[in-house]
Chains A and B, each alone.
Chain A
Amino acid sequence: MSNVLEVKDLEIQFEIDEKYYSAVKDVSFYIREGETLGLVGESGCGKSVTSLSIMRLLQDTAKVSGAILYNGENLLELGPAKMRGIRGNEISMIFQEPMTSLNPVHRIGRQIGESLMLHKGLSASEARLEAIELLRKVGIPRPDEVVDDYPHQFSGGMRQRVMIAIAMACQPKLLIADEPTTALDVTIQAQILDLMRKLAAENNMAILLITHDLGVVAEMCDRVAVMYAGKIMEQGPVREVFRNPQNPYTIGLMNSIPKLEGPRMRLQPIEGNVPSVRNMPQGCRFAARCPYVMDICREQDPGLLGAGPEHISRCWLQADREVQTQ
């Protein structure tokens, strides 16, 4: 299977008080056709910024370097017109807030049909019919009636379905979903995740799922990349990473979540706070909070090291393990 998206050595810098700071650094990952990759991490780890940079939706003051290859073509080098042809057509995006990502003054039929008229050259009446069909696909009851409704007439879950309908309109190869269910209740979240899984399978669509919820990753993704303070700490197949986490940060995250089953043990939080972008530690970015920290961790970044088939971890402990297995 070929890669739909390949991100290589991505670095994103923002200006704060006339100085540039890296919010994201050394980020590399790929997504195969029809595959779901989870990008997981706490707030401020750079996962949302990464997704926006793929769509080239960051403000002009952000400096982006590295390569973002979509079907072999570097998106960072495309002109504005070509990029517009990709957005909403080849790559679509859905956001966290279904309340604010729909335009309140337009009927939803028009909002769904817009990209069809833009990218596929459909007429207004064709687009309307297609919009009704899409609404049916995302499970909205009475689609031929609600197509003329306004966003405020929908509940949060229904709005997220509308957002998905808009994103699916042009049958994109890649869907970027940025915390698509964070604002929703669990029973509604289950509906939306179910829908996304079904649509992805039907259309052989790849998904880049950005979330802070490890449970959502476990249920939805084939592979996962764990981010911390702007870098990928661990990456691999979901089962591998969840069953056999290698990086102390991933392990820490797992231990700090209360479980629904089993004995109720005291949680083991990760002590301390995320470092600020302004003063990132020189060595491993997790060193200050890591229970296994060694002298070398504070001086030098270990880089990503192999931990199994397709499984990599950014940790000096991995270096020792590698030596042992050789």
Chain B
Amino acid sequence: MTEALLDVQDLKKYFPIRRGVLQRVVGQVRAVDGITFSVMPGETLGVVGESGCGKSTMARTILRLLEPTSGKVEFEGKNVVGLSKNEMRAMRREMQIVFQDPYASLNPRYTIGKTLLEPMEIHHLHTASARKQRVADLLDRVGLDPDYTNRFAHEFSGGQRQRIGIARALTVNPKLLILDEPVAALDVSVQSQVLNLLKDLQDDLDLTYIFVAHDLSVVRYISDRVLVLYLGHMAELADADEVFADPLHPYTRALLSAVPVTDPDQKRERIILKGDLPSPANPPAGCPFHTRCPAAMEICSKQVPAWQEAKPGHLVACHLYQ
């Protein structure tokens, strides 16, 4: 069996809630509360969930843009948590991130050339002339005209900016790319262009992806395996086809049934969840989903369901399968 590229174990990220003049800690927002998974080289792990499920926080914590509260993040066997500043800087060449908002993720004062040159300067990669050549190659690779180097971010459309964001992440030749809602802000026709680009890049450059999104059909399209999160907890993890064909967790089922489909004749059984997401500052006892779960039992409000295999390769945290 091949070694996992990334191994995340019991990752937690709590944000303190401070109140009053003395800024005393009065509580904690449990944004990510014990997440364990691994990613194999060359695969795409899709991470889905609604806002507040902790998927973006998880992405940033893996990269240590946020310091994890506890847990391990091992990249090729090396724990990223606890690396010194210099070791971390070297590690950043291996793992890169693409953000959601193509308007906020590019520095408005930089030209595109500068945006792409800077990472290579930071890591002292290549000679000056080789860097320029690489910028041109990267732009060409993501489907942009290499003559654009002297333009500023505001001169580009959302889709073009997202291509630049992807090129920036690729400048340092990373092995793992964390894609945090990379197409959520784009129009459908542009969204498919970017999705296809990501697939092609993965094939050509042997990239491994963690693809974070709220759009289930997008996740289905791009992922090999899918992890469903709810309120900072793992609900379900399995092969993409398996998750969509035979969802086990009631939350996954509700999520799938809620997606509007483009076929006006398709009458599906729709599960409409009651109520809102509970606050992660004050999560329910037991299973975090039991307050909205149509299949809730007595045990669900008392005991946290174990994370276990319900079918081969299909993990789920739900009392229905224990």
The reply to whether A and B meet directly (CB within 8 Å) is yes
Interface residue ranges, A against B (CB under 8 Å): 42-43, 155, 157-158, 185-191, 193-194, 212-220, 238-239, 242-243, 252-254, 256-261, 264, 266-271, 273
A185-B51, A190-B270, A258-B218 known; A268 vs B192 contact (CB < 8 Å): yes
Q: Would you give 14 A-B contacts (Cβ < 8 Å), ordered by A?
A: A155-B276, A185-B51, A188-B276, A190-B272, A218-B261, A218-B264, A243-B265, A252-B189, A253-B189, A260-B217, A260-B244, A260-B261, A266-B199, A273-B159
- The reply to whether B192 and A267 form a contact with Cβ atoms under 8 Å apart is yes
- Stretch of B10-18, B81-89, B117-125, B251-259 contacting A (4+ beta carbons < 8 Å): B251-259
Which residues from B are CB-within-8-Å of A194?
272
Residue of B nearest to A266 (CB): B196
Closest A-B pairs by Cβ, 8 of them: A215-B260, A258-B221, A256-B192, A185-B50, A269-B192, A190-B258, A42-B187, A267-B192
Residue of A nearest to B183 (CB): A258
- A281 and B285 CA atoms in complex are apart in Å by 60
Which residues from B are CB-within-8-Å of A239?
264-265
Which residues from B are CB-within-8-Å of A189?
258, 260
- The reply to whether B217 and A259 form a contact with Cβ atoms under 8 Å apart is yes
| Chain A: minimal CB distance from B219 (Å) | 9
Cross-chain contact of A269 among B160, B196, B273, B276 (Cβ < 8 A) = B196
Which residues from B are CB-within-8-Å of A269?
189-190, 192-193, 196
Which residues from B are CB-within-8-Å of A186?
50, 214, 216, 255, 258-259
| Chain B: minimal CB distance from A158 (Å) | 7
| Chain B: minimal CB distance from A118 (Å) | 31
Residue of B nearest to A228 (CB): B189
| Chain B: minimal CB distance from A285 (Å) | 14
- The reply to whether A256 and B272 form a contact with Cβ atoms under 8 Å apart is no
Residue of A nearest to B51 (CB): A185
- The reply to whether A256 and B191 form a contact with Cβ atoms under 8 Å apart is yes
- The reply to whether B214 and A185 form a contact with Cβ atoms under 8 Å apart is yes
- A194 and B273 CA atoms in complex are apart in Å by 11
B228-244 near A? 1/0 per residue, CB < 8 Å: 00000000000000001
Q: Is the interface of A mostly helix, strand, loop or mixed?
A: helix
A260-B256, A269-B196 known; A215 vs B261 contact (CB < 8 Å): yes
- The reply to whether B254 and A42 form a contact with Cβ atoms under 8 Å apart is no
Residue of B nearest to A270 (CB): B189
- A189 and B157 CA atoms in complex are apart in Å by 28
| Chain B: minimal CB distance from A60 (Å) | 27
- The reply to whether B262 and A242 form a contact with Cβ atoms under 8 Å apart is yes
| Chain B: minimal CB distance from A272 (Å) | 9
Interface presence of B195 (CB below 8 A): yes
Residue of A nearest to B256 (CB): A260
- The reply to whether A193 and B264 form a contact with Cβ atoms under 8 Å apart is no
Residue of B nearest to A254 (CB): B262
Interface presence of B263 (CB below 8 A): yes
Interface residue ranges, B against A (CB under 8 Å): 50-51, 157, 159-160, 187-193, 195-196, 199, 214, 216-218, 220-221, 244, 254-265, 270, 272-273, 276-277
| Chain B: minimal CB distance from A220 (Å) | 8
| Chain B: minimal CB distance from A216 (Å) | 5
Which residues from A are CB-within-8-Å of B276?
155, 157-158, 188
- A253 and B255 CA atoms in complex are apart in Å by 24
- The reply to whether A267 and B221 form a contact with Cβ atoms under 8 Å apart is yes
- The reply to whether A258 and B220 form a contact with Cβ atoms under 8 Å apart is yes
- A266 and B192 CA atoms in complex are apart in Å by 9
- A215 and B216 CA atoms in complex are apart in Å by 13
Residue of B nearest to A141 (CB): B275
A260-B217, A273-B157 known; A187 vs B258 contact (CB < 8 Å): yes
- A185 and B276 CA atoms in complex are apart in Å by 10
| Chain B: minimal CB distance from A98 (Å) | 13
- The reply to whether A238 and B264 form a contact with Cβ atoms under 8 Å apart is yes
Which residues from A are CB-within-8-Å of B159?
273
Which residues from B are CB-within-8-Å of A213?
260
- A191 and B260 CA atoms in complex are apart in Å by 12
Cross-chain contact of A256 among B189, B220, B255, B265 (Cβ < 8 A) = B189
- A78 and B257 CA atoms in complex are apart in Å by 45
- The reply to whether A257 and B187 form a contact with Cβ atoms under 8 Å apart is no
Which residues from A are CB-within-8-Å of B260?
189-190, 193, 213, 215-216, 218-220
Which residues from A are CB-within-8-Å of B214?
185-186
- The reply to whether A214 and B221 form a contact with Cβ atoms under 8 Å apart is no
- The reply to whether B192 and A242 form a contact with Cβ atoms under 8 Å apart is no
- The reply to whether B259 and A260 form a contact with Cβ atoms under 8 Å apart is yes
- A228 and B259 CA atoms in complex are apart in Å by 25
Most buried by A among B191, B218, B256: B191
- The reply to whether A242 and B264 form a contact with Cβ atoms under 8 Å apart is yes
- The reply to whether B188 and A42 form a contact with Cβ atoms under 8 Å apart is yes
- The reply to whether B187 and A212 form a contact with Cβ atoms under 8 Å apart is yes
A186-B258, A187-B273, A242-B262 known; A271 vs B216 contact (CB < 8 Å): no
| Chain A: minimal CB distance from B311 (Å) | 20
| Chain B: minimal CB distance from A78 (Å) | 35
| Chain B: minimal CB distance from A9 (Å) | 27
- A258 and B192 CA atoms in complex are apart in Å by 8
Which residues from B are CB-within-8-Å of A214?
188, 262
Which residues from A are CB-within-8-Å of B160?
273
| Chain B: minimal CB distance from A228 (Å) | 10
| Chain B: minimal CB distance from A71 (Å) | 29
- The reply to whether B50 and A187 form a contact with Cβ atoms under 8 Å apart is yes
- The reply to whether A42 and B50 form a contact with Cβ atoms under 8 Å apart is no
- The reply to whether A264 and B255 form a contact with Cβ atoms under 8 Å apart is no
| Chain A: minimal CB distance from B105 (Å) | 18
* Other A-B pairs, 6, CB within 8 Å; known A194-B272, A261-B261: A187-B50, A243-B264, A256-B192, A257-B217, A271-B193, A273-B160
Most buried by B among A214, A260, A267, A268: A260
